[in-house]
């Protein structure tokens, strides 16, 4: 059986070894922290936004939404869920609507992009913007830019004969019905619940002589 002296020596050895380990870790930590983080991969991209050409150099991970909001300062397109589920970030690319939060900016080299700022101005509202105002198609207004961009593109889809999940006959021209509009606009969430007014606004524009997408 070990005597008290042996036990004391063992305890002292453990304490010394622990102190040495802490000292080594303290010296090694600054070296690890001093290592520079990896630089982001940058790429140049050029596209047209609302009729104006833009050339940017961006981190390749930058979404189209962040490029529009943070680099071009076009803040009409909103960042809602940032997961492509609410539609607040909807813009049009070549006349087709997309969720800008799910698309990388570098994927749009040479594309023609339209945001809510490119549809109309306070002095000259786009017909869809005017209809939303007339029919109170919004309350808080946060989702409204995405709703309007999506609505304009929806009429373009119907005019082009693009079917939806509720189209009864895939070979027949699509028509503007409440069921069609609700289905096609289902990706745009209005937390204020102005859906019926939104449908009324889109229906009015669809029935106008010059209905259709203007993007």
Residues 92/215, Cβ–Cβ less than 8 Å: yes
Please report which helix (H) or strand (E) contains residue 92, including its range: strand 90-93
Of the candidates 200, 213, 208, the residue with the CA atom closest to the CA atom of residue 132: 200
- The CATH architecture of the domain made up of 42-207 is Orthogonal Bundle (1.10)
Of the candidates 95, 98, 106, 102, the residue with the CA atom closest to the CA atom of residue 71: 106
Number of alpha carbons in the 13 Å side-chain half-sphere of residue 212 = 5
Domain residue extents for the chain: 42-207
pLDDT values of the chain reduced to their tens digit, one per residue, 215 residues = 555 555 455 666 666 666 666 555 555 555 556 566 688 899 999 999 999 999 999 999 999 999 999 999 999 999 999 999 999 999 999 999 999 999 999 999 999 999 999 999 999 999 999 999 999 999 999 999 999 999 999 999 999 999 999 988 888 878 899 999 999 999 999 999 999 999 999 999 999 875 444 44
């Amino acid at each position: 059986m070990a005597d008290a002296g042996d036990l004391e020596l063992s305890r002292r050895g453990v304490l010394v070894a622990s102190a040495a380990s802490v000292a080594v870790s303290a010296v090694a930590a600054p070296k690890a922290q001093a290592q520079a983080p990896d630089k982001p991969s940058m790429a140049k991209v050029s596209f047209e936004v609302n009729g104006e050409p833009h050339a940017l150099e961006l981190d390749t991970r930058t979404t189209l939404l962040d490029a529009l909001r943070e680099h071009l300062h076009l803040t009409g397109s909103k960042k809602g869920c940032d997961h492509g589920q609410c539609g607040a970030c909807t813009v049009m690319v070549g006349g087709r609507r997309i969720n800008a939060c799910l698309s990388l900016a570098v994927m749009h080299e040479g594309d023609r992009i339209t945001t809510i700022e490119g549809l109309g101005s306070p002095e000259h509202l786009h017909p869809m913007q005017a209809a939303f105002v007339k029919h109170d198609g919004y309350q808080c207004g946060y989702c409204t830019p995405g709703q309007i961009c999506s609505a304009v593109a929806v009429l373009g889809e119907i005019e082009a004969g693009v079917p939806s999940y509720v189209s009864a006959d895939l070979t027949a021209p699509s028509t503007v019905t409440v069921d069609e509009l609700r289905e096609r606009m289902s990706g745009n969430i209005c937390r204020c619940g102005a859906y019926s007014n939104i449908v009324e606004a889109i229906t009015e524009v669809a029935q106008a002589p010059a209905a259709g997408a203007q993007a």
